[in-house]
Amino acid sequence: MTLAHFMGLLGGLALFLYGMQMMSSGLESVAGNKMKQILEKLTANRFLGVLVGAVITAVIQSSSATTVMVVGFVNSGMMTLQQAVWIIMGANIGTTITGQLIALDVGAIAPLIAFFGVAIVVFLKNEKLHHIGNILAGLGVLFIGMDMMSTAMKPLADSEAFVSLLTKFENPLLGILAGMVFTALIQSSSASVGILQALAASGIIGLNSAAFVLFGQNIGTCITALLASIGTNRNAKRTTVIHISFNVIGTIIFTILCLTTPLISFMESLTPTNVPAQIANLHTLFNVVTTLLLLPFGNLLTKFTKKVLKDKPEEADKDTLYCLLNSTHINSEILGVSAIGMETTRQEITRMLGMAKENVENAFTVFAAKNAALLSEIEQKEEYVDYLNKEISKYITKAITHESLESGSQVFHSYFSMTSNIERISDHAMNIAGYSNMIEKKKIRFSEMAQREIEELQKICNKMFDLLLEEYDDVVAWHGRIAAMEQRMDDVTKEYRNNMYTRIQQGTCTDEGSVLFSEMLTDFERIGDHALNISDERLKIALIER
């Protein structure tokens, strides 16, 4: 094999992997930030789940990309572990499409497919059509790369040393190990199976040797999901265990079948003169049969992973349930990254809003009755809210640069505004709580009427936050209720300020007391304004996602 052939092999592999990445990017742009809604609707039962996994993987030609997406979805809470089982099973079926297309010699029309894809991107102005064009261009580039690899490896058929090496793969353990290692290195079972078919097309390897390499390739593809699960939560790691278990079980079953039954001879008899088709057919049979065998035992597979990876006590802590920086890594090449980023950001903002709510509630309590311990808790929580605001904002800034759709950017902009408004609410809570130091220092006392008004302000704030945090079916009606509550807060502020003026005239309210009470009313009114701003942004997001 000359240097030119070796360079051709590397160039073909590069085009193959780049074409796969183009297809993944195209699908991400078409449906990335809608992936959550799609999966929620289509994973209602195991059969639909398998179908979804198969279709997505068939489109992007990569089970690894689908599985990494599923790991991210489980980690962010968008998908349950049980739903993940069906998607992974479907992904293993969908990945066999590449091999079947190679066996059908689709590479012959690959330049035409690539041309149509590029023509759509260059000559049409519709954004969605551009993404479809990327998918078509990626498919064409993928098969052009496949043809390059096949051409580059033809001289290897004349190398006795290389042919002798491949015949050793008839030993099941050596074949499985070779397939695992090679696929783990290039992190793509589609590419490694394609290379195996290219070797077969050149007459270098037969199904006897290729079968066990093929089984090892199915295990090796799990390395990508395994790497993606580093730093994720327990359920995300279990998703990877499910993926590995599926392929290991399938490998054990089919290795036994190949050694004890005439399975290989039967597969050869279906297409006697087409070894790449024999490999593709065995690959399809492997994944379809394994899926059918394991489909009734999906629940047991889930329980098995929970035995292997038991829950850790700290993961039950709600404050550490969603860790934005550790759980979501922005990578524009990962399918569904837009949906994962949006969902994780939403969860963090909801948690941040819950903390701001607690601070406001406690602030009124401290204002009415000095409580040093509670004041210290408010201060600590305020510092953490400030930290979350900074970190979420940094994350959103990075996420927007990877967002391919205008609608996705708009959603992230709304989240940016929401986190800023929540931080300001917590600031006003800190202001209200801080007035207690002045009350104690100057021995200020409030009338019974003023105390009742303070209690009422606290109740109104609690109702406002309950509304903000509640789940809704009709976002427009929900926003209307928030707006009505904010108007109520404005009206109450005006009413209580007039009451304060009356108490000043009657001599029942001191100058210093009136200043503090007036400041508190201003903070109360501002809290309502920021709450309405948050609901405005949530309305925008809901309308974008329709």
Q: Which of 336, 242, 408 is nearest to 38 (CA)?
A: 336
Task: In whole angstroms, give the CA distance from residue 246 to residue 450.
Answer: 67
In this structure, how many other beta carbons lie within 10 angstroms of the beta carbon of residue 73? 25
Query: If pLDDT is split at 50, 70 and 90, which confidence band does 252 have?
Result: very high
- Mean pLDDT over 394-405 rounds to 79
pLDDT for 498 beyond 90: yes
The answer on pLDDT for 299 being more than 90 is no
Domain final residue, candidates 284, 316, 348: 316
Tell me: pLDDT of 317 over 50.
no
On whether both 185 and 305 belong to a single domain, the answer is yes
∠ CA 484-490-493, rounded to 5°:
140
* 307 and 355 fall within a common domain: no
Q: Is 80 exceeded by the pLDDT of residue 232?
A: no
Whole-angstrom distance, CA of residue 422 vs CA of residue 469 = 12
Do residues 229 and 177 touch, judged by C-beta distance below 8 A?
Answer: no
pLDDT exceeds 60 at position 469:
yes
pLDDT band at 318 (very low <50, low <70, confident <90, very high): very low
Predicted confidence at residue 323, as pLDDT, reads 46
- Domain membership of residue 329 (yes or no) is no
If asked whether residues 37 and 102 sit together in one domain, one would say yes
**Binning pLDDT at 50, 70 and 90, where does residue 156 land?**
low
Q: Is the pLDDT of residue 144 over 80?
A: yes
Name the H helices within 324-405.
324-327, 337-368, 372-402
pLDDT category of residue 169 using cuts at 50, 70 and 90: confident
Tell whether 417 is covered by a domain: yes
Q: What is the pLDDT of residue 330?
A: 46
Residue that terminates a domain, selected from 263, 286, 316: 316
For residue 259, being part of any structural domain is answered with: yes
Split into its structural domains, the chain has a count of: 2
- Domain of 476, in residue numbers: 336-545
pLDDT at 324: 44
Judge if 291 and 391 occupy the same domain: no
Beta strands in 189-328 (DSSP E): none
Let me know whether 286 and 418 are in one domain: no
In degrees and rounded to multiples of 5, residue 121 shows phi and psi of -65, -40
Q: Which of 64-78, 372-386, 424-438 has the lowest mean pLDDT?
A: 64-78
268 shares its domain with 126: yes
The CB density around residue 126, as the number of other CB atoms within 10 Å, is: 10
First vs last C-alpha separation in the chain: 57
Residue that is last in its domain, among 286, 316, 346: 316
CA gap 98, 362 in Å, rounded = 60
Higher pLDDT, 464 or 56: 464
- Say if 330 falls within a structural domain: no
Q: Which residues contact 193 (CB under 8 A, 6 or more apart)?
A: 98, 99, 214, 217, 279, 280, 283
Residues 6+ apart with CB under 8 A from 414: 537, 538, 540, 541
> Is it the case that residue 440 has pLDDT exceeding 80?
no
Please give the Cα distance from 336 to 66 (Å, whole number).
9
Mutual angle of helices 81-94 and 298-308, in 10-degree steps: 110
- State the pLDDT at residue 526: 95
Q: What is the CATH number of the domain that holds 378?
A: 1.20.58.220
Q: Which amino acid is at 188?
A: S
Read off φ and ψ for residue 323, nearest 5 degrees: -115, 100
pLDDT band at 257 (very low <50, low <70, confident <90, very high): very high
312/382 same-domain check: no
Q: Which has the higher per-residue pLDDT, 5 or 89? A: 89
Same domain for 494 and 448? yes
pLDDT given at position 319: 41
- Which residues fall within 8 angstroms of residue 356, CB to CB, at 6 or more apart? 385, 422, 423, 425, 426, 429, 465
- pLDDT at position 158 is 62
Rounded-to-integer distance, Cα 542 and Cα 546, Å: 6
Residue 82 confidence (pLDDT) above 90: no
- Cβ-in-10-Å burial (0-12, 13-18, 19+) of 320 comes to exposed
Task: Return the pLDDT at 32.
Answer: 54
CA–CA distance from 116 to each of 123, 128, 262, 301 (Å)?
10, 15, 44, 43
- What Cα–Cα distance (Å) separates residue 158 from each residue in 28, 204, 205, 264, 424? 43, 8, 12, 25, 74
- The alpha carbons of the chain give a radius of gyration, in whole angstroms, of 31
* Distance separating alpha carbons of residues 60 and 114, to the nearest angstrom: 15
User: What pLDDT, on a 0 to 100 scale, did the predictor assign at position 12?
Assistant: 82
- Tell me phi and psi for residue 397, to 5 degrees: -60, -40
pLDDT at 316: 42
Q: Do 282 and 420 share a domain, yes or no? A: no
pLDDT band of 464, cuts 50, 70, 90: very high
Lowest mean pLDDT among 161-175, 210-224, 272-286, 375-389: 161-175
Ranked by mean pLDDT, the top range of 336-340, 471-475, 482-486, 508-512 is: 482-486
Whether 328 maps to a domain, the answer reads: no
Are residues 298 and 352 located together in one domain of the fold? no
Query: 347 and 286, same structural domain?
Result: no
How far apart are alpha carbons 493 and 523 in whole angstroms?
10
**Chain-wide mean pLDDT for the chain?**
82
Rounded to the nearest 5 percent, the helix, strand and coil shares of the chain are: 85, 0, 15
Specify whether 134 is located in the same domain as 219: yes
Give, as one character, the DSSP assignment of residue 206. -
Assess contact for 23 and 56: CB atoms under 8 A: no
- Residue 60 CB: number of other CB atoms within 10 A? 29
* pLDDT-based confidence at residue 163 (cuts at 50, 70, 90): low
Q: Is 208 exposed, middle or buried (0-12, 13-18, 19+ CB in 10 A)?
A: middle
Residue position matching structure tokens 């807060």: 489
